[in-house]
Amino acid sequence: MRQLAVDYLWDVLHNAHVIGLRGIEDTMTGQSAFIPEEWELLIAGILQPALAVSMVERGGTLVEMLALYDALAEELKVHVGYPVLGALLTQLLSRKAVDALRAYDRIDYETLALMSLNTLRDALALMVTKANADEVSIYKAVVRELVQRVAEANVEGSSAVSENEAGMIAEIELVLSDS
């Protein structure tokens, strides 16, 4: 189901959002400060927590992936002036991100949740060593915004965010606050 959601997400929304992003080059200056493995870690540090929040409850994957894509596009518009963040968000909006989502398709929730927290912790440590304080703060804000938007995308029960989603967001917030 997630693979269908990812494919649908790409086909329906890609052109609508990318039209406004045409002036952004694939290789941004900020990316050159990181080796490829570090760059992939930074991308995963943004993507994995949102996926963990999405997977904490069954159902709603398509709606949550659409919300994730919309939130990424909005964050890019806001933070395009920061080379590192602009390049990360641009890549997350690219077809490569869809392929990355497929890589998580067969991972169970418990594994993804633990992996996402560890990856986020490592990505933040890397950002602290290689980026300025503003960029670290914005990186954290982007993660917060994405996980919240994913959680609120599919109303489950009487509240916008389920108890399990709130629990996962709290764990993510602990990692964000510790660094």
Flag whether pLDDT at 19 surpasses 90: no
Domain extent, residue 129, equals 2-20+31-178
Query: What distance in Å separates the CA atoms of residue 50 and residue 72, rounded to the nearest whole number?
Result: 11
Stronger pLDDT, 27 or 179, i.e. the higher one: 179
Residue 25 forms part of a structural domain: no
Query: Does the residue 26 lie in any domain?
Result: no
Per-residue pLDDT tens over the stretch 113-129: 999 999 999 999 999 99
Mean pLDDT for all residues in the chain: 81
Count of domains for the chain? 1
Query: Is residue 173 one of the residues assigned to a domain?
Result: yes
What local confidence, expressed as pLDDT, does residue 63 receive?
82
Question: Residue 119: inside a domain, yes or no?
Answer: yes
Contacts of 172 by beta carbon, 8 Å cutoff, 6+ apart? 49, 52, 53, 116, 117, 120, 143, 144, 147
Is the predicted pLDDT of residue 79 greater than 50, yes or no?
Answer: yes
Residue 122 forms part of a structural domain: yes
CA 148 to CA 18: how far, in whole Å? 23
Q: What is the pTM of this model?
A: 0.79
150 in a domain, yes or no? yes
Residue 74, domain member (yes or no) = yes
Res 153 pLDDT > 90: no
